[in-house]
Structure 1
Amino acid sequence: MTAGGTTSAFEAAIVPWLDAGYNLARWLLRDEAQAEYAVQEAVLRALRYFHALRGGEARAWFLGIVRKTCFTHLEQRRDGREQNGLEDDHLEVLQWSAGLAGQDPALLVEQSQGRGRVDAAIRALSPPLREVLVLRELEELDYAEIAQVVGIPIGTVMSRLSRARAQLKMRLSPTGQAGRS
């Protein structure tokens, strides 16, 4: 295959999954700038090893590379604590809502608080639970794809997903702990 053909095949296989890779990286690293950097590095690794993708599922293969890249970054910056990496959710909501004329400000605040509670509840999950939840619920991967990305058996995926959902439900209940993370 020519260099141009390889580039075209790479773009067709990987570019559609860049947003999913960024989303996973953002949840794992909890920092938007680090997530962007990790995805860029993952793209370079994917390009370097593109020949290893032999007709397989490019999404799961690429997300696996993103995941490994994120864990490498976490190992490198580990100093005994995980960074909060809190996003400016309120600013995002205001920017998003700026284009929506006639929205009730009280409704926007309520939506922002609800979204913030969900984000806080997801951030409070341990990384193994958070990653399977993000891959399943936000990226809509099936159990087999999640198992491939994370490198664990499907039964472990189901178990972690069940625990993640239970903890999320508990944290989001009126008596839960979502606001205490």
Structure 2
Amino acid sequence: MTGSSTLQIEGFVIISAEGNLADAAGVMPDALKFEGDQRFFTEALDRAALIVHGRNSFEDQANSPRRRRLVVTRQVESVADDPDNPNGMLWNPAGATFDDARARAGIESGMIAIIGGPDVFAMFFDRYDTFWLSEAPRVRLPGGDPCFPGVPAKTPQQLLAAHGLRPADRIVLDAASDVGVTPWQRSPD
């Protein structure tokens, strides 16, 4: 658990059959974008108090500029205002804890959405309350970027389970393409 009942840490990713979130060029291809999943993702981020992601991850949605965010980077010593985004902060985990960065961003409660990339997802493995794993099993991205460090030696599901998360019922987002999302949740202590 996050240590506070007023904060919820949730992860969000859509993956290919191999567990990849991007193609061999490091780009999320259109083949991995589905209307149902995009709608689910947008609605979740619209509820988020804070979004956390690496410098190469972003959601590129209509409300994106209005969302409060932490961008994980080595370009600052600890935490700094993002000169390119008045709603953004830059955070170097080597110089400040997540809780310090979150507090500096003014977030004391609500849902914190972790949206990638792989190393950012891994930083929160032991803190997620829920990880929303969307899967597009008919999409193949050979040689692509895996969603988590350790994939493909282990599946994303094995890695989530290894960190104490358990799957709940899958929600179908696009029946024609067999795309769905499984909430992986931490059992209450």
TM-score by length of 2: 0.29
Select the structure that is richer in helix. 1
Asked which structure has the greater RCO (Cα within 8 Å, sep 6+), the reply is 2
TM-score by length of 1: 0.30
Select the structure that is richer in strand. 2
Larger-gyration structure (1/2): 1
